[in-house]
Amino acid sequence: MTEKASVVVIGGGIVGTAIAYYLTIKGQRDVVVLEKNYLSSGSTGRCAGGIRQQWSEPSNVRLAMRSVRHFESFKKELGADIEYVQGGYLLLAFDEEEETLFRNNVEMQKKEGLEVSILSVDEVKKRFPYIVVDDVKSASFCPTDGHANPHLANFAYARAAKKNGAWIYTHTRALGIDVENGQITGVETDRGYIKTGVVVNAAGGFSRQVGLLAGVDIPTESYRHQIMVTEPLEHILDPMIISFSRNFYMRQTVSGNIMMGQGDEDEKPSFNHDPSWRFLTQMSKKMPGLFPFLEKVRVLRHWAGLYNMSPDAQPIIDKAEDVSDYYCAVGFSGHGFMLAPAVGEGLADWIIDGSPKEVDLSNLGLDRFTGEVKREKNVV
Amino acid sequence: MSRLVDHPIIEFRRGKEITFEFEGREISAFEGETIAAALHAEGIKFLRASPGRQRAQGFFCAIGKCSSCLMEVDGVPNVRTCITLVKDGMIVRRQKGKGEFGA
Amino acid sequence: MHSPDLLVIGAGPAGLSAAVEAASAGLDTVVVDEGVTAGGQLVKQTHKFFGNEGFFASVRGFEIARSLLEELVDFENVEIFQESSVIGVYEDGIPVLHLPSDTTRLFRPKRVVVATGASEKFLQFENNDLPGVYGAGAVQTLMNQFGIMPGKNVLMIGSGNIGLIVSYQLVQAGVNVKAIVEIADRIGGYEVHADKVKRLGIPVLLKHTVTRALGVESVEGAEICEVDEKFSPIPSTARELVVDTVCIAVGLNPSVELIAQAGGQIRYVAELGGYVPVRDEDMRATAEGFFVAGDVSGIEEATTAMIEGRIAGLSVVRDLKGSTDENKVSRLKKELVGFRNGPISARVREGLQKLGFDVSSGESRTGNLNNPQKYRGKLRPIIECFEAIPCNPCETSCPTGAIVVGGNINDVPVIDYDKCNGCGICMTKCPGLAIFMLQELPDEDSALIGIPYEFIPLPSKGDQVHLLGRQGEMLAEGTVQRVFRSPHKTNSVYVKTPLELADKVRSIRPVLQEDNAFVCRCEELTVSDIEAAIDEGYTDFEELRRKLRISMGPCGGRTCRLNALRILSRKTGKSIEELSFGVLRPPSIPSTLGSIARQKGAEDD
């Protein structure tokens, strides 16, 4: 293991490896990624892989649009097929409140340059005949949204970073971060000590704990979130389909499995990774009502991962106040995978050149939680 | 065809004789037999064409664990025919690829 | 909501035994089982079991299943659900899928006995996914449960007890077994089982393996090969056999998914068959409220499974009622120790030691200790049981007390020919079919040989038969002198042989008798696919799984996980113990959303 590094990234998920990748292609040498388990073992490997630009907050729309451009060129740039499909995201509205929200969102999103439109019930029925539209009022649809395989994307960033000279240490846990007079001096791991002046916290579900290693207080909390997947079927779903009021999302993977999940308001903050029967029961009762073909489809697997929630359900991408060169890219609140490319790019610029340059991270600072919190609404 | 009638140790008590359809062919079987067993008795071992490499596959474990006997039964794909009992009038098809649901 | 005192998962020998003990102590007991009928693997076993009479020795497997079940159905506090699979062990209950009705039912039992048994190992060779390549269990299901011939000509892979027993059963069903191939330099199973198939004329090819299945839509042949010291095939020795079935009997893996999901600690112990749950002598696993019994806790015999099942059942009783029949528990534990005492159980003992058990072994009597020559002219048994195996029906069935095994059930039998009256009962009782009858006839140049016979048609007096030797070699023709039908279906056929062949003839055959390698089936991954991914740098099982989707298919990794780990171990030089085992995600059986929505007896959420 190396004894010193220019930057130590803690967390080998999509965010950590994307940051490492962008650091190395911008010429940064001696970059280290520490992963306490294996690559994609945390939230990345457990997420649904959706890539969406339809958000209620303009800054999120911009960040997601920038990410989509990176996903579009991913194969060419990194030489890896990550099963990226732009089948669109269909947001179903079931009541007037949602209809109003979507109409306002679409207006704002269009201003940001996003190709997005409101579909009438008839249009939904015509384009997606497998949906029972009885209770659907309308929908918002963006054709350039989509999904990809998170593991493959995670592996691709890690391999590219490694090829460019980064060290990726899996099964290596960060135990402590030494800070002297506000300056980082090194990271203690269970496999040795690494001298460094720069640390990036990309620890996903464990961001708060990794913050405390350097005495930085990050207001995030982790919640269990569950996903189920069916047996593989021939291709049927193009878009990722999502509803906030009915509380679900669903997509079909390239290998044919239908993947779906929901939020659970009763979850308390925890590191619980165990799936529950209650989740499976609720989903099985709910989903075939809207998608009758699901009734006879078998569930193959389900699992749980952690949503690392910030108080406003938006990511925290910032540099700490009291510890210099302590960066964090955390609190993604369930949307880290889709935002990782743009965040990786911006944070790499910030570390190397002192500012995120073209990537607008201005609304995502640690200091925003002091006043009134404006919450992202488009969240399952 | 290959059903055992006499056996030195076991007495086979078979159920009622029934018929079902496989790829348009009428096949007789006995109640209490699994679909895969009834097909095997007729010499039919090729149960599905695998989705990836289009290979002929039949059952392997016969206890519903290995996924290689998935067939389309009465329009429903991915049925584990080695643990699903055959019924009179069933329509069984060799499954090609992943399951398709008439959406 | 159903909250029984005990939920038993699996109605094989272990599960049924646990249920009997719990039920007879008055516990409300639910048994769930995947099979159409209870009994697990027992229902497919047509051979007589070893062991001692307390545990059904010399009784055929399917008959043992029947008696255990009969014992159980008498209890009003027992419910048995067939065709029912546990979906998973969750923090909020244990849901069970009823396959025929496509519905689920949630249980919240006070205690659980996991008696899920084992699944078969899969073997890698080219075209191993071709229809007609079957696991030994599948062959038994077809043949012994449904009465359907698996094929006409079979190549058996593996000479452990299962390979030997299934080969014998195939011949009983009228199927030709072309050969048994064994990669090691000696037969894996009991000598008596091996002797049974050898004298049918089935060649056992040691240091051989199968390298390819041939055929387009189903098996039309198989290529076999000799192997070198490193078990690698020697290409120049390849030859083809015309067979329509390749039967794989290369061992079993304990089915630990559910105990792992329950949070029970799992350890890799090769001697016990792979990953096994950590547990104590009372069969208590490390997950709270969970017990294990039978093959899931280590691959062994039905007899040990039944003993473990009873211990688990009695331990549950102790847990819930504060006391149990401790005398019975200690007697059962003693039985287990005695059973595992012999050289046959050396590997199991090593495995148990790795789990922290203090396992004693004793000296067992072996070899040929009997001297029938002195009793020339007397009709008497010839006992060809020279290997120490845990078995004693010859002793317990002898009406005159002539045969003695003694306190160590692994000892070979010793016979006192002075006490023997020549009744021949021992010949029909011996589970290994290792006892023959001999009498030198007064004409001075011929002898009468009694042979245990379990085939059809049963010859009649006066029939001409071929006389075969221990390797199935043709020695002469002879005439049937007497035939005794046994209610246990091991019949006795006495033939006249030339005197000089008396110690050679051990089998008969009626005259005029008609004479690309996949690791993961779900995702269609071959050995080279996996090796390529490892070469690319995916050296953690979980990474490999995510990269290739291995073990993410409908089988839940049962066929591929350990094989993939073996390849990983071979490529990385790490032992399997060092490698991460990966996650065993529920559901353990793919279940439709509809079945989950249609829950019986569950509280509404």
pLDDT digits (tens, 9 = 90+) for C162-178: 999 999 999 999 999 99
3-state secondary structure chain B: CCECCCCCCCCCCCCCEEEEEECCEEEEEECCCEHHHHHHHCCCCCCEECCCCCCEECCCCCCCCCCCCEEEECCEEEEECCCCECCCCCEEECEECCECCCC
Instruction: Please write the tens of the pLDDT for every residue from C431-458.
Output: 999 999 999 999 889 999 999 999 988 9
Express as a percent the part of chain B with pLDDT over 90: 72
**Closest-CA residue of chain A to C592:** A298
The answer on pLDDT for C571 being more than 90 is: no
pLDDT of residue B66: 84
Q: Report CB contact under 8 Å: C119, B32.
A: no
Q: Report CB contact under 8 Å: C138, B61.
A: yes
Query: Distance from B12 to chain A by nearest Cα, in Å?
Result: 34
C61-74 mean pLDDT: 91
Residues of B in contact with A129 (CB under 8 A): 103
Is A354 exposed, middle or buried (CB count within 10 Å of its CB: 0-12, 13-18, 19+)?
A: exposed
Closest residue by Cα to residue A329 from A7, A1, A18? A18
| CATH number, span B18-94 | 3.10.20.440
- On whether both A109 and A124 belong to a single domain, the answer is yes
**Closest-CA residue of chain B to A129:** B103
3-state secondary structure chain A: CCCECCEEEECCCHHHHHHHHHHHHCCCCCEEEECCCCCCCCHHHHCCCEECCCCCCHHHHHHHHHHHHHHHCHHHHHCCCCCCECCCEEEEECCHHHHHHHHHHHHHHHHCCCCCEEEEHHHHHHHCCCCCCCCCCEEEEECCCEECCHHHHHHHHHHHHHHCCCEEECCCCEEEEEEECCEEEEEEECCEEEECCCEEECCHHHHHHHHHCCCCCCCCEEEEEEEEEEEEECCCCCCEEEECCCCEEEEECCCCEEEEEECCCCCCECCCCCCCHHHHHHHHHHHHHHCHHHHHCEEEEEEEEEEEECCCCCCEEEECCCCECEEEEECCCCCHHHHHHHHHHHHHHHHHHCCCCCCCCHHHCHHHHCCCCCCCCCCC
In B, residues 17-36, which contact A (CB 8 Å cutoff)? Answer: none
Q: Report CB contact under 8 Å: B61, C174.
A: no
- On whether both A215 and A252 belong to a single domain, the answer is no
C539: contact with A, CB 8 A cutoff: no
Chains linked to A by 3 or more Cβ pairs within 8 Å: B, C
Residue A79 lies in a domain: no
Query: Distance from A136 to chain C by nearest Cα, in Å?
Result: 22
Distance CA C315, CA C317 (A): 5
Residue A175 lies in a domain: yes
pLDDT of residue C605: 43
Residue A353 neighbours by CB under 8 Å, 6+ apart = none
SS3 category, C64: helix
C593: contact with A, CB 8 A cutoff: yes
A161: contact with C, CB 8 A cutoff: no
Out of A45, A281, A303, name the one closest to residue C596 (CB): A281
C596: contact with A, CB 8 A cutoff: yes
Residues of B in contact with A298 (CB under 8 A): 78
Query: Distance from B8 to chain C by nearest Cα, in Å?
Result: 5
Residues of A in contact with C540 (CB under 8 A): 38-39, 170-171
In C, residues 226-255, which contact B (CB 8 Å cutoff)? Answer: none
Distance CA A259, CA C283 (A): 38
The answer on pLDDT for C86 being more than 80 is: yes
Q: Report CB contact under 8 Å: B101, A232.
A: no
Distance CA C466, CA C475 (A): 8
Q: Report CB contact under 8 Å: C591, A298.
A: yes
The answer on pLDDT for C466 being more than 90 is: no
A254: contact with B, CB 8 A cutoff: no
Distance CA B71, CA B79 (A): 5
Mutate to test the interface with C, among B1, B6, B10, B59 (most CBs of C within 10 A): B10
Mutate to test the interface with C, among B14, B34, B39, B61 (most CBs of C within 10 A): B61
Instruction: Please write the tens of the pLDDT for every residue from C10-62.
Output: 999 999 999 999 999 999 999 999 988 899 999 999 888 887 767 788 899 99
Instruction: Please write the tens of the pLDDT for every residue from C332-365.
Output: 999 999 889 888 899 999 999 999 998 877 788 8
Residue A76 lies in a domain: no
Residue A59 lies in a domain: no
**Closest-CA residue of chain C to B86:** C100
- On whether both A350 and A319 belong to a single domain, the answer is yes
Residue C539: band (very low, low, confident or very high) from pLDDT cuts 50, 70, 90:
confident
Residues of B in contact with A234 (CB under 8 A): 97-100
Q: Report CB contact under 8 Å: A296, C594.
A: yes
Residues of C in contact with A39 (CB under 8 A): 540, 543
Express as a percent the part of chain A with pLDDT over 70: 100
Out of B51, B78, B103, name the one closest to residue A293 (CB): B103
pLDDT of residue C602: 54
How many CB pairs below 8 Å do chains A and B form together? 30
Out of C174, C456, C558, name the one closest to residue B66 (CB): C558
Residues of C in contact with B2 (CB under 8 A): 148-149
Domain count, chain A: 2
The answer on pLDDT for C407 being more than 90 is: no
CATH of the domain at A241: 3.30.9.10
Contact C493, C458 (CB under 8 A): yes
In C, residues 499-558, which contact B (CB 8 Å cutoff)? Answer: 521-524, 553-556, 558
pLDDT of residue B64: 86
Residue C1: band (very low, low, confident or very high) from pLDDT cuts 50, 70, 90:
very low
Residue A77 lies in a domain: no
Strands C403-404 and A174-180: unpaired
- On whether both A138 and A236 belong to a single domain, the answer is yes
A122 is in which domain, residue-wise? 87-144+224-306
Express as a percent the part of chain A with pLDDT over 90: 95
Query: Distance from B5 to chain A by nearest Cα, in Å?
Result: 38
Contact C276, C260 (CB under 8 A): no
Distance CA A121, CA A136 (A): 7
Query: Distance from A281 to chain C by nearest Cα, in Å?
Result: 6
Residues of C in contact with A291 (CB under 8 A): none
Residues of A in contact with C561 (CB under 8 A): none
The answer on pLDDT for C514 being more than 50 is: no
C543: contact with A, CB 8 A cutoff: yes
Instruction: Please write the tens of the pLDDT for every residue from C182-192.
Output: 999 999 999 99
Q: Report CB contact under 8 Å: C524, B34.
A: no
Mutate to test the interface with A, among C593, C596, C598 (most CBs of A within 10 A): C593
How many CB pairs below 8 Å do chains B and C form together? 138
Of A271, A306, A341, the position where a domain reaches its end is A306
Residues of B in contact with A232 (CB under 8 A): 51, 98-99
- On whether both A119 and A257 belong to a single domain, the answer is yes
CATH of the domain at A29: 3.50.50.60
Residues of B in contact with C524 (CB under 8 A): 50-53, 55
pLDDT of residue C403: 95
A302: contact with C, CB 8 A cutoff: yes
Out of C583, C592, C599, name the one closest to residue A298 (CB): C592
- On whether both A228 and A302 belong to a single domain, the answer is yes
Residue A377 lies in a domain: no
Out of B6, B55, B85, name the one closest to residue C129 (CB): B55
Residue A128 lies in a domain: yes
- On whether both A33 and A99 belong to a single domain, the answer is no
Mutate to test the interface with B, among A229, A234, A235 (most CBs of B within 10 A): A234
Instruction: Please write the tens of the pLDDT for every residue from A170-191.
Output: 999 999 999 999 999 999 999 9
Of A306, A327, A357, the position where a domain reaches its end is A306
Mean pLDDT of chain C: 91
- On whether both A126 and A27 belong to a single domain, the answer is no
Residue A219: band (very low, low, confident or very high) from pLDDT cuts 50, 70, 90:
very high
The answer on pLDDT for A144 being more than 90 is: yes
